[in-house]
A and B are shown apart, each in its own frame.
Chain A
Amino acid sequence: MEQFTHILLLFASTILVNNFILVRFLGICPFLGVSNQIGTAFSMGMATTFVMTLTGMASWLINTYILEVFNLQFLQTVIFIIVIAALVQFVEMFIKKTSPALYRALGIFLPLITTNCAILGLALLIPSEGYNFIESVIFAFAAGVGFTLAIVLMAGLRENLEFADVPGVLKGVPITLIIAGIMAMAFMGFSGLISM
């Protein structure tokens, strides 16, 4: 039971308190780039969550059974980026074969995930936090859910922004950043929620 509570707290705190985008600053590029429409933002979030969960597993397995055993931690960055690139490629091929509809929906987003710093950041965070396998998977999945939550919320705000009269110099990225700042302030309200 205690184990279950611990997992639940880890899940909630990764989504709300340590949100990958708004608190850890990981994955800002897609957050600014693909948050024009709720639909595409949601697809991007789903694709990222999927790859993140797989990366979480791969990161833990590689770190525990290969890097630590052979004392190769200095190769972490190089190994993880190769694994992520390969993983994304495999996922792309797999989805293309099994579900062409989903493949079309995700489209360009899949290859872009390779250079999303949230993914590599996640792979590097797992060894440094010292999670076990179950915790790593939960952490990775929750990180993806948090990412999706932030990007979909932002897309909803930006869709409404279309009707607002924004001063010329603030159009585009500047106003998006300021909105993100206000969202980050709102998320700060969660920080007292869970203490781990």
Chain B
Amino acid sequence: MKFLKILKNGLWDENPTFRIVIGMCPTLAVTNAAVNGLVMGLATAFVLLASEIIISLVKKLIPENVRIPSYILIIATFVTLVDYILKAFLPGVASALSLFIPLIVVNCIILGRAEAFASKNSVLDSIADALGMGLGFTWALLLLSIIRELLGSGSIFGVQILGGWYPQMAIMLLPAGAFISLGILLALMNYISSKGVK
């Protein structure tokens, strides 16, 4: 029961993208195509899951003073792993994401959850938290990237949805479109949750 509650916390109540608004760099940068958004989300979720498991296992062994550097080292190790796996198996997507895979190290979501959750809770709870937060981040990225790809090039996952009549809005694929569409999406999420409270 508690497992599901923690899971839902990450997926909606404290969704890292829509509610807490952290980890904005990858959210804006890689969401120009649905496949990039999905892979980025899953890569981050994997690093989060692996780091939270390890950190919650070794939390008693790490001295208080050096905990942040230790967490960063653990996170950086998994990020390097993901970086090389993606380069080997999905070279196309890896080159599209380029810099933003190694930059998962400084994604505030991961260090934030390591410090706020994994360092204080059991392994099972940490797994629930990592899955909730990781998948919460993934669906946010996927939603934004589907919107941008559909409006920008008329396709989803590279499959043409809108026909030749559709005037492709290239601006949605450019930085300006990223900022504006995320801004509108966040406003929409605020609207939905303010309705829910009443």
A interface residue numbers (CB < 8 A to B): 22-29, 32, 74-78, 81-82, 85, 114-117, 119-121, 124-125, 128, 168-170, 173-178, 180-182, 184-185, 188
Determine if A181 and B179 form an interchain contact, defined as CB atoms under 8 angstroms apart. yes
Question: In this complex, what residue of A is CB-closest to B182?
Answer: A177
Determine if B24 and A32 form an interchain contact, defined as CB atoms under 8 angstroms apart. yes
Number of residues in B with C-beta < 8 Å to the partner?
40
CA distance A177 to B76 in the complex (A): 29
Determine if A181 and B176 form an interchain contact, defined as CB atoms under 8 angstroms apart. yes
Question: In this complex, what residue of A is CB-closest to B112?
Answer: A115
Q: Which of B178, B190, B191 has the most CB of A within 10 A?
A: B190
Determine if A184 and B99 form an interchain contact, defined as CB atoms under 8 angstroms apart. no
Q: Does B123 lie at the interface of the complex (its beta carbon under 8 Å from any beta carbon of A)?
A: no
Interface string of B156-193 (1 = CB under 8 A from A): 00000000000000010011111110111011101100
Q: Distance in Å from the Cβ of B44 to the closest Cβ of chain A?
A: 13
Q: Distance in Å from the Cβ of B4 to the closest Cβ of chain A?
A: 29
Q: Does B103 lie at the interface of the complex (its beta carbon under 8 Å from any beta carbon of A)?
A: yes
**Chain A binding surface SS class:** helix
Determine if B106 and A175 form an interchain contact, defined as CB atoms under 8 angstroms apart. no
Q: Distance in Å from the Cβ of A172 to the closest Cβ of chain B?
A: 8
Determine if B25 and A32 form an interchain contact, defined as CB atoms under 8 angstroms apart. no
B interface residue numbers (CB < 8 A to A): 21-22, 24-25, 28-29, 69, 72-73, 76-77, 79-80, 83-84, 99, 102-103, 105-108, 111, 171, 174-180, 182-184, 186-188, 190-191, 194
> Contact partner of A124 among B99, B187, B194, CB < 8 A?
B99
CA distance A77 to B82 in the complex (A): 12
> Contact partner of B177 among A168, A170, A181, CB < 8 A?
A181
Q: How many A-B Cβ pairs are below 8 Å?
A: 115
Q: Distance in Å from the Cβ of A25 to the closest Cβ of chain B?
A: 4
Q: Distance in Å from the Cβ of A20 to the closest Cβ of chain B?
A: 10
> Contact partner of B179 among A81, A121, A128, A184, CB < 8 A?
A184
Q: Distance in Å from the Cβ of A22 to the closest Cβ of chain B?
A: 6
Determine if B84 and A74 form an interchain contact, defined as CB atoms under 8 angstroms apart. yes
Determine if A174 and B80 form an interchain contact, defined as CB atoms under 8 angstroms apart. no
Determine if B175 and A23 form an interchain contact, defined as CB atoms under 8 angstroms apart. yes
Residues in B with CB closer than 8 Å to A115 are 106, 108, 111
Determine if B183 and A175 form an interchain contact, defined as CB atoms under 8 angstroms apart. yes
Question: In this complex, what residue of B is CB-closest to A77?
Answer: B102
Residues in A with CB closer than 8 Å to B191 are 169
> Contact partner of A28 among B25, B69, B105, CB < 8 A?
B25
Determine if A117 and B106 form an interchain contact, defined as CB atoms under 8 angstroms apart. yes
> Contact partner of A29 among B22, B171, B174, B186, CB < 8 A?
B22
Residues in B with CB closer than 8 Å to A178 are 179-180, 183-184
CA distance A178 to B185 in the complex (A): 10
Question: In this complex, what residue of A is CB-closest to B24?
Answer: A28
Determine if B176 and A29 form an interchain contact, defined as CB atoms under 8 angstroms apart. no
Residues in B with CB closer than 8 Å to A124 are 99, 102-103
Residues in A with CB closer than 8 Å to B175 are 22-23, 25, 181, 184, 188
CA distance A174 to B80 in the complex (A): 33
CA distance A176 to B194 in the complex (A): 20
Q: Which of A81, A120, A182 has the most CB of B within 10 A?
A: A81
List 15 other contacts, CB 8 Å, given A78-B80, A174-B190, A177-B186. Answer: A27-B25, A74-B80, A77-B102, A117-B107, A125-B99, A128-B99, A168-B190, A169-B187, A173-B183, A173-B186, A175-B183, A176-B183, A181-B183, A184-B175, A188-B174
> Contact partner of B106 among A23, A74, A116, A176, CB < 8 A?
A116
CA distance A177 to B73 in the complex (A): 32
Name 25 interchain pairs, CB-CB below 8 A, sorted by A.
Answer: A25-B29, A28-B28, A75-B80, A77-B76, A78-B73, A81-B105, A82-B73, A85-B69, A85-B72, A114-B106, A117-B106, A120-B102, A120-B103, A124-B99, A169-B194, A173-B21, A177-B180, A177-B186, A178-B179, A180-B179, A181-B175, A181-B177, A184-B175, A184-B179, A188-B176
